[in-house]
A and B are shown apart, each in its own frame.
Chain A
């Protein structure tokens, strides 16, 4: 019951954001113009319209709220700084997501040089026999899943955040990441399987077995070389 309410609330939240953007393209356009003219009220409008998806993307890519807050603010500062480079050929949201993802990936790259995940943070393997039967178990499962998401390589995590959480289309993701749609398709597939392996702790599935075979072959080639 609780989970149903959560889903409804999530759907409502997304709907609200979409409506805001779709119902007032002129307002968004005017806000972009104002922003380009250096007027803060333009940035304020864009911030109010898009702060939730930007913050959510930062949070799911970076993994902690304080860093996500800083990053989200930094993204909007960059919007104000670089709005002149937005050529309006793509949707503003695409451009904004690109700024957001790139900023977060830069932060992660820097952080990766400094820290590694301690062993105690590795989630316990999920017991398939314990399917979520109550809200409590479901919440536990979701927590483990989010922790597993944080353990994914950044390219996999990015794909899953943009598709599963932000619910963007393959075309939008391709535009944001500036890669072909086919690449989105294959990366997303690998990301799903990688997440499943960490979350469920299952033996390697088809894809991972294939990847391991491929890695083994590569390793052999390297040894031979």
Chain B
């Protein structure tokens, strides 16, 4: 038996996946072939290291995150059905980057309230801002129907398992905490504490969004590994119109200091001086008042 003929058996013998006859052949060959002994030893060492290294992994995503994603899929399926009911004119094209829902109809009745909560929170959270940015000339009222993309966008922001596709709002630049905390002096939004907020909220991801009319900053915070807060603010006075940071716009939009609780989601929108912010959090998982109080404290806000 030559070395070439032996290679498969040499590999299989490492795994114990070889019958006794062939195993004897391998042993006999190894007794006289130094090169094959070295190859086998290298494979064995490599296997042991790979097993050790490969099995060390970070914590897998929790069930809650998958359940959240299923909620989103159900919402999208329902929204599609609603759009079809209303007619072709009401259907908006699906924006790029938003996941296609699975083919299955997500119709578990017990999830119904989550759809209502998500849709309402979405309307409050980003409906106004998103549509304002996309259609700056339009006046947005509380009764304006949300664009099809807005709820999905909000869910992406609040769902820690999904990287949100903010490109529908403009050019997006992800920013690290270091860059986020050291935005230029014209930034009106100053993060409060290094990499975190009181209560254990830790900076997760941040983005600078340059829309057609303004620059926005959006940041996501986590607590115990889960997204609990999304803050949004203007970061530049390049074009201080049609942003949440413009009190006039907020007033027109009926957004001044607005708070609502829908299902498990608490949503607060407020303006404070030049700062406007939106906080979304799940009830019971965070003290939203503490976040608001901290963010509203003059000592922590840098104003123009």
**Total residues of chain A contacting the partner, CB 8 A:** 61
A179 within 8 A of B: no
Contacting A at CB under 8 A, from B1-51, are 3-4, 7-8, 10-12, 15, 17, 35-36, 39, 42-43, 46-47, 49-51
Q: How far apart sit A7 and B163, CA to CA, in the bound complex (Å)? A: 34
Point out the residues of chain B lying under 8 angstroms from A73, CB to CB.
Answer: 61, 65-66, 69, 161
User: Inside 8 A of B154's CB, which chain A residues have their CB?
Assistant: none
Measured CA separation A43–B60 after assembly (Å): 16
Contact A167 B11 (CB under 8 A): no
Asked whether A185 lies within 8 Å of B11 as measured between CB atoms, the reply is yes
Whether a CB of chain B sits under 8 angstroms from the CB of A66 is yes
Q: Are B15 and A65 in contact (CB under 8 A)?
A: no
Hey, which chain A residues are within 8 Å of B42, CB to CB? 196, 200, 202
Q: Which of A174-225 contact B (CB under 8 A)?
A: 185-186, 188-189, 192-193, 195-196, 199-200, 202, 205-207, 210
* Contact A206 B7, beta carbon cutoff 8 Å: yes
A69 interface hit (Cβ, 8 Å): yes
Please give, as numbers and ranges, the residues of chain B lying within 8 Å of A192 by CB-CB distance.
11, 43, 46-47
Residues of B within 8 A of A29 (CB): none
- Which one of A85-93, A115-123, A158-166 is at the B interface? A158-166
Which one, A51, A78, A143, A160, contacts B60 given CB within 8 A?
A51
Q: Does A111 contact B (CB under 8 A)?
A: no
Q: Does A40 interact with chain B (Cβ within 8 Å)?
A: yes
In angstroms, Cα B40 to Cα A207, docked, is 12
B102 close to A (CB within 8 Å): yes
Q: Is the interface of B mostly helix, strand, loop or mixed?
A: helix
Tell me how far the C-beta of A21 lies from the nearest C-beta in chain B, rounded to whole angstroms.
16
- Distance of A62 from chain B, by nearest CB (Å): 12
Is A77's CB within 8 Å of the partner chain B? Answer: yes
Nearest to A69 among chain B residues (CB) is B61
Task: Tell me if B73 and A77 are in contact (CB < 8 A).
Answer: yes
Q: For B70, what are the chain A residues with a Cβ–Cβ distance below 8 Å?
A: 40, 77, 80
Q: Which residues of A sit under 8 angstroms from B12, Cβ to Cβ?
A: 170, 185, 188-189
Which residues of the partner chain B approach A7 to less than 8 Å between Cβ atoms? Answer: 52
Question: Cβ of A6 and Cβ of B56 under 8 Å apart?
Answer: yes
One of B3, B47, B104, B107 near A206 (C-beta < 8 A): B3
- Contact with A164, one of B54, B57, B61, B111 (Cβ below 8 angstroms): B54
Q: Which of B17, B42, B50 has the most CB of A within 10 A?
A: B50
Q: Inside 8 A of B56's CB, which chain A residues have their CB?
A: 6, 10
Residues of A within 8 A of B47 (CB): 164, 192
- How near does chain A come to B173, taking the closest CB pair, in angstroms? 18
In the complex, are the beta carbons of B67 and A56 less than 8 A apart? no
Question: In the complex, which of the residues A59, A138, A206 has the most CB atoms of chain B within 10 Å of its own CB atom?
Answer: A206
Asked if B86 is an interface residue, CB under 8 A from chain A, the answer is no
B61, A145: Cβ atoms closer than 8 Å: no
Q: How far is the CA of A110 from the CA of B239 in the complex (A)?
A: 39
Answer whether residue B108 sits at the interface, using C-beta atoms and an 8 A cutoff. Answer: yes
A165→B102 contact, CB < 8 A: no
Q: A81-B104, A199-B46 are in contact. Are A185 and B8 (CB under 8 A)?
A: yes
Contact B53 A13 (CB under 8 A): no
Task: State which residues 61-102 of B face A: CB under 8 Å.
Answer: 61, 63, 65-67, 69-70, 73, 102
Complex Cα gap A56–B10 (Å): 27
Partner of A47, one of B7, B43, B63, B108: B63
Contact (Cβ within 8 A) B54 A165:
yes
- B43 contacts which chain A residues (CB < 8 A)? 192-193, 196
B58 at the interface (CB under 8 A from A): yes
Residues 1-50 of A contacting B (Cβ, < 8 Å): 3, 6-7, 10, 13-14, 38-40, 43-44, 47-48
Contacts of A14 in B (CB 8 A): 55
**Interface residue B139 (Cβ < 8 Å from any Cβ of A):** no
B226 → A minimal CB distance (Å): 13
Give the interface centre of B17, B108, B161 by most chain A CB atoms within 10 Å. Answer: B17
The docked-state distance in angstroms from the alpha carbon of A76 to that of B196 is 33
Question: Which of B36, B54, B63, B69 gathers most chain A CB within 10 Å?
Answer: B54
B103 within 8 A of A: yes
The answer, yes or no, to whether B193 is at the interface (CB within 8 Å) is no
Q: Does A102 sit at the interface, judged by CB under 8 A?
A: no
Query: Given A48-B63, A51-B61, A77-B102, does the pair A10, B46 have CB atoms closer than 8 Å?
Result: no
Cβ 8 A contact of B63, one of A44, A55, A81, A170: A44
A207 touches B57 (CB 8 A): no
Known: A80-B104, A146-B53. 16 other contacts (CB 8 A): A10-B51, A40-B111, A56-B60, A70-B161, A77-B66, A142-B53, A145-B53, A146-B50, A146-B54, A149-B54, A188-B12, A189-B7, A192-B43, A195-B46, A207-B4, A210-B4
Listed A/B pairs (6) with beta-carbon separation below 8 Å? A10-B56, A47-B66, A69-B61, A164-B50, A202-B42, A206-B39
